[in-house]
Amino acid sequence: MNLQGLVISLPAILLALSVHEFAHGYVAYRLGDMTPKYQGRLTLNPLAHLDLIGTIMLIFVHFGWAKPVLVNPVNFRVDQKKGMLYVALAGPLSNVLLALTGGILYNLLVKMNAGYFWILLVQFLIIINVNLAVFNLIPIPPLDGSKILAGLLPYKMHHIVYQLEAYGPIILILLLVTNVFGTIFGPIIGGILDIIMRISNLII
């Protein structure tokens, strides 16, 4: 990515990460856990959410993460297993919805003959949000996908996910370095982007 692309993509990256983590915190808060509020995570201010390494990764390889929102499922008003499933789903789902919003905005900007800067910014917004959603759905700790998997598995099988926690970061680094992510998830991301643009074309 050239310097111009880097500068234009930064607002999209900050928004994508902030919305993702806010969604986690907000759902946990709505389920009865005040922990995200006490931590100051119920905000879209990027400074409350950014992880330096995760942000750099997202800028340069389009896969990254923010500072995790801590929650205490004991405080949930629903079953703890279901509550954690809802909290984990909220992040990726918020990015998909933000990408769809970007698709609608992109069509509007094109029809208005908006400037190159704005169209490119929205394109980055769409691409980054889809990448962030797909990356976080991978069922490897500490990503959201591992918590979603734990929420779907019977309690007696939770040990499968928990045993991966110690090795999760190493596995993720290896997958990134060997470009397995790009090979496996590239077509998936491309398919989701196509669906989002088709849907947004129907709306606008």
Mean pLDDT by 10 residues, the chain (204 residues): 77 93 98 97 94 79 80 96 96 97 96 90 95 92 91 81 80 82 89 95 83
Given the structure tokens 């005040």, which residue do they identify?
34
Residue 78 CB coordination number (10 Å) = 13
pLDDT at 62: 64
Closest CA to 134 of 98, 203, 79, 185: 185
CB-count exposure of residue 183 (10 Å: 0-12, 13-18, 19+)? exposed
Write the burial class of residue 101 (CB in 10 Å: 0-12 exposed, 13-18 middle, 19+ buried). Answer: middle
Catalytic residue among 9, 12, 17, 21, which? 21
Instruction: Provide the pLDDT for residue 58.
Output: 73
pLDDT confidence of residue 146 = 92
pLDDT of residue 79: 94
Is residue 165 annotated as a catalytic residue, yes or no? no
- The closest of 107, 118, 54, 186 to 20, measured between CA atoms, is 54
At 71 the pLDDT is 96
pLDDT computed for residue 108 by the predictor: 94
pLDDT score for 63? 67
Whole-angstrom CA distances from 152 to 89, 96, 134 are: 12, 21, 18
The model's pTM is 0.90
Does residue 23 contact residue 93 with C-beta atoms inside 8 Å?
yes
- Would you state the pLDDT for residue 176? 78
